[in-house]
Amino acid sequence: MRKFFNKICMMAFLSVVIQPVGCFGQVQDETPARPKRANKGSRPKDKEVLIRYTEEKLDGKLFVHRVDVVNGTRKERWAIDGDLVAAQDFEELLLDAEKAERRMERRRLEELRGKEEMELAQQQEFGRTSRLAIERKRLNLILGQIETELAKIRDPKLAPYYIFSDTSFANAESFTQLCDELVPQARELCETENVVSEELSKFIVHFEQQPARLRTLFRATVNNAINKCDDTRLLKELLETVA
């Protein structure tokens, strides 16, 4: 009888111990379950993230529009120089900045065109004054040569012996016109401040051959004087002239 009672007690003890293991169904523990530790190497579930970032600098301000989409949830932010603003304010200020930027660009282009036009005008003025200075210098040099030759040929003692020809001067009238009209006009023109290069060029073209013509006239006149003159004093002066 005692052995039978001991066997029943043992079976009851085993039944209490084995039941929580789940031999006959899971028994819920009333204490809160501890969180399970993640196994090494396991990764948390990835979030679906989409970011769109627009940045624009206008009129000295930095405009930023950012859109974040996380797991299908959309969030937008607008900022100007780092300060968050409402969407409507952002658009209005952005439009104002774009207008200001266009105005600045137009002014910049106008200033650039003005600078280019000024440089072109300066270049044209430099070219005009340079041409004028060159033509004035050329005419002065030619006039100097003509006046040197005239100083010799216009000696009153030689006047009776002038010999005109096609290679010097066709007649006395053309020679007198050069001496009394053209040379004084050209000299006055060279000394005039407001003059155009075209006027100087006309005299240069007309005068370029005059020194050679005057030298031809002088040689022909001296030869004629030597052949016809019987005055020893005059011949001596001619010798000094041609020496």
Q: What digits encode the pLDDT tens for the residues 84-137?
A: 999 999 999 999 999 998 999 999 999 999 999 999 999 999 999 999 999 999
pLDDT value, residue 243: 61
Q: What is the 3-state secondary structure (H, E, C) of the chain?
A: CHHHHHHHHHHHHHHHHHHHHCECECCCCCCCCCCCCCCCCCCCCCCCEEEEEEEEEECCEEEEEEEEEECCEEEEEEEECCEEECHHHHHHHHHHHHHHHHHHHHHHHHHHHHHHHHHHHHHHHHHHHHHHHHHHHHHHHHHHHHHHHHHHHCCCCCHHHCCCCCCCCCCHHHHHHHHHHHHHHHHHHHCCCCCCHHHHHHHHHHHCCHHHHHHHHHHHHHHHHHHHCCCHHHHHHHHHHHC
pLDDT value, residue 16: 34
What is the spatial distance between Cα 223 and Cα 242, in angstroms, rounded to a whole number?
A: 11
Q: What digits encode the pLDDT tens for the residues 191-222?
A: 888 888 889 999 999 999 999 999 999 999 99
- Contact assessment for residue 221 and residue 173, using Cβ atoms and an 8 Å cutoff: no
What is the spatial distance between Cα 138 and Cα 162, in angstroms, rounded to a whole number?
A: 29
pLDDT value, residue 35: 44
